[in-house]
C-alpha cells in the first residue's frame, strides 16, 4: 500500500510474497556455496560475511521507495547470508556429546527471542510519525528506515563481537560421539527430506498467512488490526514461549523421546491451524489474548519439531561434512521458504476476496496448512527410527537434575555405527 500497488488491506497479499520470497530464494542460491566455504576455509569468515549482508540488506530495504528496490535488496542479502546454517554447525561443534541437544534447544530459543525483538521493533517503529515518536526527518521520509537501522546496527555489533571473541571451530576436534562417515545420510532417507520440506512449508505458510489475516479487512474475514496490535500479539506469544519452552521441550523429550515428540507435535499442529481462522468470531475484548495463546501453541509445537530435526540432521554426518549438509538441507528449505510466500500470500488474498463459502474463503490457507501438518505427522511416523531411538530419554538424568542440566542422549539412526 505504501508503494502504491494496493488500495485495500486484503489485496496486499498479492505483493507481500515477493519480499519474503526474494530473501529466501537468494539464500537458496547462496547456501551451497557458503556451506562449501565454511567447510574449506572456516566458519568465522562465513559468519562475518553473513552479518555484513544483513546490515547492507536492511539499509537497502529501509531506503527502498518501490517494491522492485526492496525485492532486490532482500535478494542480494539472501545470496550472501548463510548465518543460520553456519551457526547451527558451530553449535554442534562447541557442545560435546549429549549436551548437543540442549545447546541446539538454546539455539532455537535464541531465534525466538530475536523474533520477539523483531515484532516489537517492526510493529511500533514503522511509520514513526503516526505514533508521534518522530515528526520529521529522514525516518519520516523513509517510513521503513528506523526499524531497519536498528537491525543493521545489531548486525554490525554482532560482527564486531564475532571478529573479536569468536574462535574458529573447524580446526577443533569433532565434539560429537561416533557418527557414520557415510556422507549425507539424508539422501537415502527420502521420508525425512519430505517431512522436513513439508514442515518448512507449513511453518512458513503460517508465518506469512497469520499477519496478513490479522491485517486484512473485516468484510473479507480479517481482523483489521494495526501493525502495532499484530506486533503485540505475536510478541506476547513469544515472550511466554521464551520463558518456558526450553523446560517444556526437555520434559517431553525426556519422557517420550525424539520420535514421539516430532510425531505428536506434528499431529497437534493440524487442529491448531484449522481452528485459528475461526477466531474472528470472538468479541474484540477477547480477540488478542486468544490470538496470542493460539500463536503460542503453534510456535511451541513447531519448536518441538524443528529443534529435534536440527539434532537429527547434525548427528547424521561427520564434522567435515556438517556445514555442507546444513547448508544444502537449508538451501532446499530456502527454496520452499522462497516459493511459499508467493503461493500462500497470493492464495490468501484471492480466496479472502473471492466471496466463496467455507472452506474456500479466508479459512482456506489455514485449512490447507493444517492438512499439510497432518501429512507431515504420517511421514514422521514412518521415518527409519531404531528401537533404541524410539525409547530415547535423557542421559544421566539424576545427575542432570542436581546441576539443573537436561541432556538428551545420542540419536542413533538405523544402520549407523
With respect to residue 408, please indicate whether it lies within any of the assigned structural domains.
Answer: no
In this prediction, residue 208 carries a pLDDT of 86
With respect to residue 319, please indicate whether it lies within any of the assigned structural domains.
Answer: yes
DSSP of 368-406: HHHHHHHHHHHHHHTS-B-HHHHT--BTTHHHHHHHT--
Q: pLDDT tens-digit profile of 65-94?
A: 999 999 999 999 999 998 988 888 888 788
Please state, in angstroms and rounded to a whole number, the distance separating the CA atoms of residues 175 and 157. Answer: 28
Q: Peptide bond preceding 332: is omega within 30 degrees of 0, i.e. cis?
A: no
Grid cell, residue 118, equals 523483531
With respect to residue 284, please indicate whether it lies within any of the assigned structural domains.
Answer: yes
Identify the CATH number of the domain in which residue 200 sits: 1.20.1250.20
Q: pLDDT tens-digit profile of 171-210?
A: 644 444 334 434 344 444 567 778 888 998 999 899 888 9
In this prediction, residue 88 carries a pLDDT of 81
Domain interval for residue 268: 9-403
Close Cβ partners of 351 (under 8 Å, ≥ 6 residues apart) = 360, 361, 362, 364, 365
Structural domain tally of the chain?
A: 1
User: Residue 389 in contact with residue 257, Cβ under 8 Å?
Assistant: yes
With respect to residue 1, please indicate whether it lies within any of the assigned structural domains.
Answer: no
pLDDT band at 397 (very low <50, low <70, confident <90, very high): very low
Q: Is the pLDDT score of 417 beyond 60?
A: no
Longest dimension (CA), the chain: 65
CA 165 to chain centre: 26
Please state, in angstroms and rounded to a whole number, the distance separating the CA atoms of residues 9 and 6. Answer: 8
Q: Is the pLDDT score of 281 beyond 50?
A: yes
With respect to residue 20, please indicate whether it lies within any of the assigned structural domains.
Answer: yes
Grid cell, residue 314, equals 547434525
Average pLDDT over residues 107-111: 76
Q: Which of 359, 376, 380, 379 is nearest to 274 (CA)?
A: 359
pLDDT band at 384 (very low <50, low <70, confident <90, very high): low
pTM of this prediction exceeds 0.85: no
With respect to residue 410, please indicate whether it lies within any of the assigned structural domains.
Answer: no
Q: Note the helical H segments in 277-363.
A: 284-315, 319-354
Q: Is the pLDDT score of 414 beyond 70?
A: no
Phi-psi region of 302 (alpha: psi -120 to 50; beta: other; left: phi over 0): alpha
Q: Is the pLDDT score of 386 beyond 60?
A: no
For the ranges 6-15, 289-298, 317-326, the maximum mean pLDDT occurs at 289-298
In this prediction, residue 17 carries a pLDDT of 80
Please state, in angstroms and rounded to a whole number, the distance separating the CA atoms of residues 267 and 381. Answer: 10
Amino acid at each position: 500500500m505504501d508503494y502504491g500497488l494496493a488500495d485495500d488491506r486484503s489485496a496486499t497479499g498479492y505483493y507481500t510474497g515477493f519480499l519474503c520470497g526474494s530473501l529466501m530464494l537468494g539464500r537458496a542460491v547462496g547456501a551451497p556455496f557458503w556451506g562449501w566455504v565454511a567447510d574449506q576455509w572456516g566458519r568465522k569468515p562465513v559468519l562475518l560475511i553473513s552479518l555484513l549482508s544483513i546490515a547492507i540488506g536492511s539499509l537497502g530495504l529501509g531506503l527502498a521507495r518501490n517494491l522492485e528496490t526492496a525485492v532486490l535488496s532482500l535478494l542480494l542479502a539472501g545470496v550472501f547470508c548463510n548465518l543460520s546454517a553456519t551457526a547451527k554447525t558451530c553449535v554442534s561443534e562447541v557442545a560435546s556429546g549429549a549436551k548437543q541437544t540442549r545447546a541446539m534447544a538454546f539455539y532455537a530459543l535464541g531465534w525466538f527471542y530475536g523474533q520477539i525483538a523483531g515484532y516489537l521493533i517492526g510493529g511500533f517503529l514503522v511509520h514513526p510519525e503516526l505514533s508521534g515518536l518522530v515528526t520529521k526527518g529522514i525516518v519520516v521520509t523513509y517510513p521503513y528506515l528506523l526499524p531497519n537501522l536498528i537491525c543493521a546496527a545489531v548486525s554490525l555489533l554482532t560482527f564486531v563481537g564475532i571478529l573479536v571473541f569468536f574462535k574458529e571451530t573447524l580446526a577443533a576436534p569433532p565434539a560429537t560421539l561416533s557418527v557414520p562417515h557415510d556422507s549425507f545420510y539424508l539422501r537415502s532417507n527420502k521420508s525425512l527430506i519430505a517431512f522436513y520440506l513439508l514442515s518448512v512449508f507449513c511453518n512458513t505458510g503460517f508465518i506469512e498467512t497469520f499477519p496478513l489475516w490479522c491485517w486484512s479487512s473485516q468484510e473479507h474475514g480479517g481482523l483489521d488490526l494495526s501493525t502495532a496490535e499484530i506486533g503485540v500479539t505475536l510478541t506476547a506469544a513469544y515472550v511466554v514461549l521464551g520463558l518456558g519452552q526450553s523446560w517444556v521441550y526437555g520434559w517431553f523429550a525426556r519422557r517420550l523421546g525424539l520420535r514421539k515428540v516430532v510425531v505428536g507435535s506434528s499431529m497437534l499442529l493440524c487442529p491448531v491451524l484449522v481452528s485459528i481462522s475461526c477466531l474472528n468470531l470472538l468479541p474484540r475484548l477477547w480477540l488478542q489474548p486468544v490470538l496470542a495463546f493460539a500463536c503460542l501453541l503453534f510456535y511451541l509445537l513447531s519448536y518441538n519439531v524443528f529443534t529435534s530435526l536440527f539434532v537429527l540432521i547434525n548427528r547424521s554426518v561427520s564434522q567435515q561434512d556438517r556445514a555442507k549438509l546444513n547448508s544444502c538441507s537449508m538451501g532446499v528449505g530456502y527454496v520452499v521458504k522462497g516459493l511459499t510466500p508467493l503461493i500462500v500470500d497470493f492464495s490468501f488474498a484471492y480466496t479472502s476476496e473471492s466471496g466463496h463459502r467455507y472452506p474456500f474463503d479466508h479459512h482456506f490457507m489455514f485449512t490447507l496448512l493444517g492438512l499439510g501438518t497432518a501429512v507431515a505427522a504420517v511421514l514422521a511416523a514412518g521415518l527409519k527410527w531404531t528401537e533404541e531411538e524410539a525409547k530415547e530419554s535423557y542421559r544421566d538424568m539424576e545427575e542432570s537434575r542436581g546441576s539443573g542440566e537436561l541432556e538428551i542422549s545420542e540419536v542413533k539412526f538405523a544402520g549407523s555405527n
